[in-house]
Chain A
């Protein structure tokens, strides 16, 4: 590495492909070369020429922490690998890794299909959805995104193009699902879709005044719904919340004027948060007001309301770049999964964060169903709580480390797509199958080419 100006170029030179990359939380950015790739040949060439800092795929940058960035590396942008091929008979779609769920829905919803799983934003790519093994409001009945993938194409660390699925290739497929992009570059995937006859969701909404009631309500009746999630007022000591549950509405439930085009679908962001945003906008006062407003705006109880896909599934897409609202220090999302026996950790987490003034506009509680065979897949049966926190809150590091200990002791874990601060020890202890995953990864990437800031930070 000491050889420098052999080609007359300073080792301090800049490269016009360099970009400062961070996650959705806009914390700890690093610089990498962003390289657009349009074919498997391109991917193979980059892997063959990989430098000491490695290679990593990045989708739409919606992971909150450092999963989709890698300082000094070649970061692959697969946006032009955007093919979508729908098989309406089989209810299966084959999509390029760079296809966003947003683009996908514009094609499949009018054709009578819905994605098997969608997170709270549709601005994620197919490749990213598999790498993070994302979950949605239907996890308690239908599992993660990865569980619906029939096969995927990946270029591994030796440059070999592989087509792997849950049955043939088993181990390597499941190491890739939830593998945070560290087993290879996913270029395409085929997955099951949900048949629908309308683009609307029939939604039941209930305001619940206490966290305990909210949680018992969810335990008792979640099974009756395909989709279920609760929003919690993080500013209120009662842990009150709003429970929304629903399913795709059959076309004949639609009002007469919508019946002519039951599958009509349009989705657009309503506004953009300006790039220069007062950094004090997210503060305890505004957060208390926002939470109060959000709670009040929900009906006390309403059954069978017809909502659009965007309104029900993707409240986070209402404003583009809303993550800038947290100002220059950025924010993080703390999301854990714990078994039912540790249900009290939901209240403990809310209390401890409230105590240091870390109030959140986005606090989401959900029940998880069965886990899948992927060693690093996050969901496990029980509860998951996700809470946004401004990174600049005093005392946050200590409080979160304390919560980590409780989560770990309860047999729980944190979501890698959200994490930006856990310790390597917490990672290893809370994902006991990490070693098993590493053995498969080492086989798929013997030269250690696929590296992210997350994998460096957590010694994955």
Chain B
């Protein structure tokens, strides 16, 4: 249960190696944390995430086998986590960036990105929402992206999956209105992570820790949508208003 001072006792991360999600767990008030489930494909990386959070003094960090693309497995896994006790915060953090050029050449690669980022998230999101509604409280944090605000020539496969995810999360938020559970949609810009390694940094680039502190602050304020960094909200509003022929020619 979240206490009166907004300190959670339990967190579930779907996509347990996500640097943004892990930074968010570290940025949460940790006094009352007693269960952190990192769900992801079994890997050395997942084990390392468990070890790193544990080493930072967080109690009850465990790994849970979970595959975003195995949607049939989502229900039983998410049920098992919630059957083990109420979950105060769920971070839906799995996702692939993919390579736009390769995906254009091999649509199967695009399908993998779409299946993970959109189909997998729809499935996991609905299962989580069902359990949050049943417990009458809790927050689902959905890691969307500014890339979903407007599709760009250079990464529209990824962008379109985030656009779909973002629309799904907004609708889910409305569906959960009045249920005690809520959704926080997070739209980061360019974040320095493994996912973006080797790519040229965009203006307003931030670190996972910056996104994490934006998320924690939004959780405290009960916000529904948040950009990271915050001023990106205005940049994106401007970009969305540009006429297509102009937008197409922008160097990005």
Contacts and interface: CB of A to CB of B under 8 A. Distances in A.
Interface in B118-137: 126-127, 129-131, 133-137
B7 A457 contact: no
A64 to B, nearest CB: 8
B179 A11 contact: no
Main secondary structure of the interface of B (DSSP, over half): loop
A32 B178 CA distance: 10
B129 A401 contact: no
A31 B4 contact: no
B136 A423 contact: no
Contact of B1 (A2, A11, A456): A456
Contact of B4 (A11, A25, A32): A25
Interface residues of B, number: 34
Contacts of B180: 20, 29-31, 71-72
A72 B131 CA distance: 10
Given A4-B130, A31-B136, A71-B137, 12 more contacts: A1-B131, A12-B129, A20-B180, A27-B3, A32-B136, A66-B1, A71-B86, A71-B180, A397-B29, A420-B3, A421-B4, A423-B32
B62 interface: no
Interface residues of A, number: 38
A390 to B, nearest CB: 11
A396 interface: yes
Given A31-B137, A330-B4, A457-B9, A18 B179 contact: yes
A332 interface: yes
B204 interface: no
* Closest 8 pairs (CB-CB, A-B): A71-B136, A31-B180, A420-B4, A27-B4, A457-B1, A31-B136, A72-B136, A30-B137
B134 A53 contact: yes
13 contacts: A11-B130, A12-B175, A12-B176, A18-B178, A20-B178, A28-B1, A31-B180, A71-B135, A71-B136, A421-B7, A456-B1, A456-B86, A457-B3
Interface string B4-33: 111101000000000000000000010110
Main secondary structure of the interface of A (DSSP, over half): loop
Contacts of A397: 5, 7, 29, 31
Interface in B174-192: 175-176, 178-181
Contacts of A20: 178, 180
B76 interface: yes
